[in-house]
Structure 1
């Protein structure tokens, strides 16, 4: 199992931003991700919030071993042609340490920031179904032309392509059947936050059962695509289930062990932010980063050695 973290882009680079990424590398996290939004929910909406790709590029120059990624990018304000160019550049600057977390997006935050009406769930799924395969092509082919229902490309050039071959990995966030088919077809990993209906009123046991159902449906999607489900990484982003895995090291080890039974290969925790939904004891967070994997039964194994 791998252990990763999320660093929200809320600090000026020279006022704690750079140090947050260096700390993640020192603690041995496998990957440090950042949200790719134009703004996010309260209390972050009215405070500092920086762009994900520039932030990750700066982090790439500051770190040496830490993998970097978005969790997640969506079509809400992205176009595959311009996104591909930025990702190829980021992959180059980082020396091939980038993972693209990608999802269909949601209703709030930046869904209407470009002046459009918020898309319905069906519209988001339709756009995502075109966005992902086109982005796949743009990151693997030197020149791409495409005319689709939502996106177009006219001899879009992406030379020399990604450092990682054939392209940087996709971690596709999905819970519905169409998204899971995209994960099975184009993803190197699948991402979930659990069942949002259980976040406030559910129990950890109900959440575990819901995740077991999602994993089963992922297996069905892989079977439909003729793909071995065991070769798809499974990523659980914490903070959106009824569990409280950051309460203590023991709580996290128990949480991680139970979800490893479901086949999850990577668990992602948020770097603590006081007075928010991500508030947590900094000392516990550091102990989780440095001690949890050994307690899970991987003596001598570090996050970095699994990179």
Structure 2
């Protein structure tokens, strides 16, 4: 199985003060894809610079030629499917069909209350996500959509000429619970996991691997129920949230060991954070770039 290597670049730099160069360097290094978070602010970065995901990705699309681009991940927390579909269709066009939408149910972070609403319960998030994703799927595949839902509606919403990628741009659905995995199996061209969050603080790498194995097994069962094969979906691991934390980026050997173990579980794409000094994603830039250029050959 070929394992793809991608990166996630947090939107913390002014475009003309290092932002553009970072995305261009990601392409030069040979990453399969470069993603960014789609948040209004995020955890320890809340009081510092943080730019919008879709404008950043649009700029990245004009500054690069080959690398795939995407969100990791968008959520319903502060978005509505109708305007989002228009922006995604436009971004797919500007990038020449290089865009992937990473999308999930969202959580209880700052985004959950930024519009003045109470944070949704897990059940409410799941209900909204199912409706959001189904409507977004239609909006990106049909010329005109009218739909009345409990949470999201559309009235003759038009998205002409449609996506460059057909029948629409791919969805990478982040999910670990049964309802989310069913949505990934039904609508996704890829599935995203960060591992089991309950193991982050006190779990072991072995426990984490077993949890991911279980997630993939459940995804496979959800695919069978939807009349699909799990091989139809890419399986993406966003790193940095397993008990290993930043250890895989300490050396080429450490990364090859980490990536190989997860490839053997069934992961097809590993995403590593672009180093940010003095943060949870601190790493040696030279080692990071060495991993990108040397590890793929060792993993073949």
Would the TM-score normalized by the shorter structure come out above 0.5? yes
In the alignment, what sits opposite 2:284? Answer: 281
| TM-score using structure 1 length | 0.96
Runs of 4+ displaced beyond 2 Å: none
Q: Matches of 1:72 and 1:282 in 2, distance apart?
A: 24
2:40 corresponds to: 38
| Match in the other structure for 1:22 | 24
Provide the C-alpha distance between the structure 2 equivalents of 1:40 and 1:283, rounded to a whole number of angstroms: 26
CA deviations 1:213-267 (Å, max 9, x no partner) are 1111111111111111111110000000011211111010001100011111100
Q: Secondary structure at the match of 2:280?
A: coil
Using the alignment, how far apart are the partners of 1:254 and 1:41 within structure 2? 29
**CA distance in 2: counterparts of 1:120 and 1:295, whole angstroms:** 44
Give the equivalent residue in structure 1 for 2:299. Answer: 296
**Structure 1 residue ranges without an equivalent (≥5):** 298-307
Equivalent residue, structure 2, for 1:48: 49
State the alpha-carbon separation in 2 of the partners of residues 35 and 14 from structure 1.
20
* Deviation for aligned residue 1:109: 1.9
Tell me the equivalent position of 2:248.
245
1:170 Cα offset (Å): 0.2
| TM-score when normalising by structure 2 | 0.98
- C-alpha separation between the residues in 2 aligned to 1:201 and 1:29? 31
2:128 corresponding residue in structure 1:
127
Within a 5 Å distance, the mapping from 1:214-253 to structure 2 comes to: 214-243=215-244, 244-253=247-256
Superposition map of 1:152-301 within 5 A: 152-243=153-244, 244-297=247-300
Work out the CA distance in 1 between the residues paired with 2:287 and 2:255: 9
- 2:98 is the counterpart of 1:102: no
Q: CA RMSD in A?
A: 0.6
How many corresponding residue pairs? 296
For 1:166, what is the secondary structure of its paired residue? coil
Residue 146 of structure 2 corresponds to which residue in structure 1? 145
Q: Secondary structure at the match of 2:155?
A: strand
- Show the counterpart of 1:305: none
Q: Which stretches in structure 2 are left out of the alignment for 5+ residues?
A: none
| Residue correspondence of structure 1 range 70-85 to structure 2 within 5 A | 70-85=71-86
Aligned counterpart, 2:92: 91
